[in-house]
Chains A and B, each alone.
Chain A
Amino acid sequence: DGGITQSPKYLFRKEGQNVTLSCEQNLNHDAMYWYRQDPGQGLRLIYYSQIVNDFQKGDIAEGYSVSREKKESFPLTVTSAQKNPTAFYLCASNTPGSSSYEQYFGPGTRLTVT
């Protein structure tokens, strides 16, 4: 089955700790994205990557870092510099310009930092 996996589904961390959220896709998509969703709000773009070894900041990149060493993987690290990290994080992928242009989403990771 093709799709996007995110792990874990729920993650708890103490303030001051870095934490890495996993995102893997087997859809052979070129581009991958990370979004943050806060309660009652829309999706805000954190980072995106259109090809391996390249990524760009989105609207709210401060306090986050990413890497794209493999086409299938786009992990997101939430650093201690992120002032309010508790949120729902969604990973997505697509191939821009293709016939199926829409972004496909993973099940999300709910991060709670106390």
Chain B
Amino acid sequence: AQKVTQAQTEISVVEKEDVTLDCVYETRDTTYYLFWYKQPPSGELVFLIRRNSFDEQNEISGRYSWNFQKSTSSFNFTITASQVVDSAVYFCALSETNTGNQFYFGTGTSLTVIP
């Protein structure tokens, strides 16, 4: 069973629009971590944010914000006023402390921001 589901395979938006990338996870652990990564065309994954299971506080960093809701097992990522440089593939990941700290990645959402 997929532990991390990113149902949106591809999204296209026009520059300056807001866009939300969905991430749903599945775990039985009480202690776990959630992550978002950005993969630009160059290929290297860039870490964006980490959230642990005990901290449901939403986070805002510039144009980026994250909404963590344990009740729905979701960790969604919103980009406000999107820019062309935001075009990339975005991955959500889960790490469970009871499974050897492995990371489980979703299949990614490819975001294209059209100028």
Contact = CB atoms under 8 A, between A and B. Distances in A.
B101 interface: yes
A106 B46 CA distance: 9
B107 A105 contact: no
Contact of A56 (B46, B100, B106): B100
B84 interface: no
A106 B44 contact: yes
B11 interface: no
A81 B48 CA distance: 36
B50 A101 contact: yes
A42 B106 contact: yes
A103 B103 contact: yes
B31 to A, nearest CB: 11
Contact of B101 (A31, A42, A43, A106): A31
B91 A50 contact: no
A106 B102 CA distance: 17
B91 A42 contact: yes
A101 B43 CA distance: 21
Contacts of A33: 103
Nearest to A56: B100
B43 A48 contact: no
Contacts of B37: 105
Nearest to B35: A102
Contacts of A43: 45, 91, 103, 105
Interface string B71-115: 000000000000000000001000100001111011110000000
Given A50-B100, A102-B47, A107-B42, A42 B105 contact: yes
A45 interface: yes
Interface of B: 9, 33, 35, 37, 42-47, 50, 91, 95, 100-103, 105-108
Interface of A: 31, 33, 35, 40-43, 45, 48, 50, 56, 58, 88, 90, 92, 96-97, 101-108, 110
